[in-house]
Amino acid sequence: MKAKLFKKVLVANRGEIAVRVMRACHELGITTVAVYSDADRNAIHARYADEAHHIGAAAPAHSYLQLEKIVKLAGDVGAQAIHPGYGFLSERPEFPEACQAAGVVFIGPPAAAMRAMGSKLEARALAAAHGVPVTPGSEALDDPDEAARAARVIGFPVIVKPSGGGGGIGMKVVEREADLAAAIESCRNAARSAFGDPTVYVEKYVRKPRHIEIQVIADQHGSVVHLGERECSIQRRHQKILEETPSPAVTPDIRRRMGEAAVSAARAAGYVNAGTVEFIFSEGDFYFLEVNARLQVEHPITEEVTGVDLVKEQIAVAAGLPLSFRQEDVAWKGHAIEMRINAEDPARGFIPNPRRITRWVSPSGPGVRIDSGFGPGSDVPPNYDSLVAKLIVHGADRAEAIARARRALREFVLAGPATTIPYHQAILESGDFRAGNLTTRFIEDHPELLDAMRQFLDQVSPMEYGADPRHVAAAAAAVAAVVSQQQRS
Ligand code: MV4
């Protein structure tokens, strides 16, 4: 693989994903270039790289969103390729276009595939035309009468969605015709301001679905493979909290059918590189939602169960090499869970709690992986999202993965900001979680998790001597004894 790969790659991101990408680069013998903002002067991702360049002020618009500045920098420092990570510029079609104009390889999908998937109506139509199940839905809606007719044919409840962008922004569930016009107006306004495109449409609303997604990766030679599903139902306001694979709801037959559907959708879009096809899943049926044209936060659980290094494969296919495996070679082993450790206070509505990290000991031992761009002494800036670490566990089966997750969370020392660690402990002991009863409403249906979390707030990790109040008292007494000894002598 190594010979034809890039010599130097610029990573246009920060935090854990920048470190994750650079880890793959270093294993491949590729030199890395980091970019950083004012807020990230001392960040681990900037120190991890072989060279690091300051690109602007803390606000994303002045640094990590500076598309032209970043592409020019890649050329200036002699990087042959740019990895965008996730978020920031990763799904802007202008990014691969600017890279191409500058003679730099973009490690991600082509601009045309991003554009096709960026329009949700176009993505749905493309998927449906290639035999991928979609929910019953309308075309773009122009006037209230047309909307009412469409909704009547589909049948209430319906969900009004913007075509211009996903992630739940602007969506409105409508139970009865009387509420439709107002919902469309509200969705249209949200769509215009968030995506610059007021186009909206309606779909049959599926009430308590699971959110299940399929990882795909395609090379430039026509090979498109899927790497199975991730169950991502446990989320809050469209932010995933915990993901696992395999999904407790997916049988080998469903996996094969969803996988084939995802591959069809990717082929139809002319997709190259790593991507994710999102579905909602209810009562054994699945429906295409959208394609995420990037490497996702939760990619490590797929890596753990398949043994495929997704970032290395991304780099290889961007360099024009074929995928290192075929669909028949993909085998799934065991069960993996990812827990997002955010600097947020679950007890106060999960508000961000950006602080300096005062104490930090990572869990370790069998089946434990930490992906993070933070450590002891790191500052968590208020300017970016609050993810500080991903705790990923792998076990022979779901029961072992859950036991490992609980064990690893107990080991984790992370002081300074409030975090989601105790909340994860509460999820993992919940009866519905343990039974695999998951829906996208899991968090709102389980308000008792916030009370259950309290017992974990004052749990002391066995991994850190200084964290136990008894040890602190003992250490203080020992110091006092030495001091009084010195004073006497
Ligand atoms: C839906 C739906 C139910 N029925 N579409 C929200 C985000 C976007 N990707 C699509 N979303 C949904 N579309 C129909 N026809 C429910 C959701 C939804 C959801 C989807 C995935 C993950 C979390 C979610 C939380 C609330 C609603």
Give the pLDDT confidence of 101-137 residue by residue, as tens digits.
999 999 999 999 999 999 999 999 999 999 999 999 9
| Mean pLDDT, residues 54-67 taken together | 98
Q: Is the pLDDT at 3 greater than 60, yes or no?
A: no
Per-residue model confidence as pLDDT tens digits over 415-463: 999 999 999 999 999 999 999 999 999 999 999 999 999 999 988 899 9
Give 175-186 pLDDT, tens digit per residue: 999 999 999 999
Task: Give the whole-angstrom CA distance, residue 212 versus residue 391.
Answer: 20
Is 363 a residue whose pLDDT tops 60? Answer: yes
148-184 pLDDT, tens digit per residue, is 999 999 999 999 999 998 888 999 999 999 999 999 9
For residue 94, what are the contacts with CB-CB under 8 A and spacing of at least 6?
A: 67, 111
Atom 7 of ligand 1 has which residue's CA nearest to it? 168
Ligand 1 atom closest to Cα of 235?
23
Q: Containing H/E element for 360?
A: strand 359-361
CA distance 59 to 69: 15
| Confidence category of residue 4, pLDDT binned at 50, 70, 90 | confident
- What value does the mean pLDDT of the chain take? 95
Give the CA angle between residues 44, 50, 52 to the nearest 5°. 65
Query: How does DSSP assign 269-314, residue by residue?
Result: TT--EEEEEEEEEETTEEEEEEEE-S--TTHHHHHHHH---HHHHH
Distance CA 304, CA 401 (A): 11
- Among protein residues, the one with the nearest Cα to ligand 1's atom 6 is 168
Helices marked H in 176-289 — which ranges? Answer: 180-195, 252-268
Please identify every residue annotated as catalytic.
294
Q: Give the model's confidence band at 471: pLDDT under 50 very low, under 70 low, under 90 confident, else very high.
A: low
Q: Identify the pLDDT of residue 464.
A: 82
Of 280, 296, 297, which is best to mutate to test ligand 1, by the most ligand atoms within 8 angstroms of its C-beta? Answer: 280
Q: Which of 292, 440, 444 to mutate to test the pocket of ligand 1 (most atoms within 8 A of CB)?
A: 440
**Ligand 1 contacts CB of residue 235 (under 6 A):** yes
pLDDT at site 97:
98
Q: Is 292 in the pocket of ligand 1 (CB under 6 A)?
A: no
Angstrom CA distances, 109 to 24, 46, 149, stand at 19, 25, 38
Residue 482: predicted pLDDT: 80
Q: What is the pLDDT of residue 63?
A: 98
DSSP string of 78-89, one letter each residue: T-SEEE--SSTT
Give 426 Cα–ligand 1 centroid separation in angstroms: 25
Distant-in-sequence contacts of 113-117, Cβ < 8 A, 24+ apart: 113/269, 113/270, 113/271, 113/272, 113/275, 113/293, 114/293, 116/269, 116/270, 117/269, 117/271, 117/275, 117/290, 117/291, 117/293
* Whether residue 469 has pLDDT greater than 70: no
Q: What is the pLDDT of residue 470?
A: 67
The per-residue pLDDT for 326 is: 98
CA of residue 8 to ligand 1 center, whole Å: 39
Average pLDDT over residues 57-63: 98
Nearest CA to ligand 1 atom 22: 211
Q: How far apart are CA 43 and CA 52, in angstroms?
A: 11
**In the structure, what pLDDT confidence band is assigned to residue 485 with cuts at 50, 70 and 90?**
confident
300 within ligand 1 shell (Cβ under 6 A):
no
Crossing angle of helices 299-306 and 310-318, in 10° steps, is: 100
In tens, the pLDDT along 267-320 reads 999 999 999 999 999 999 999 999 999 999 999 999 999 999 999 999 999 999
Whether ligand 1 lies within 6 angstroms of the CB of 290 is answered as yes
C-beta of 108 in contact with ligand 1 (< 6 A): no
User: What integer is the mean pLDDT of 21-27?
Assistant: 98
**Is residue 378 pLDDT above 60, yes or no?**
yes
**What integer pLDDT is reported at residue 2 of this predicted model?**
46
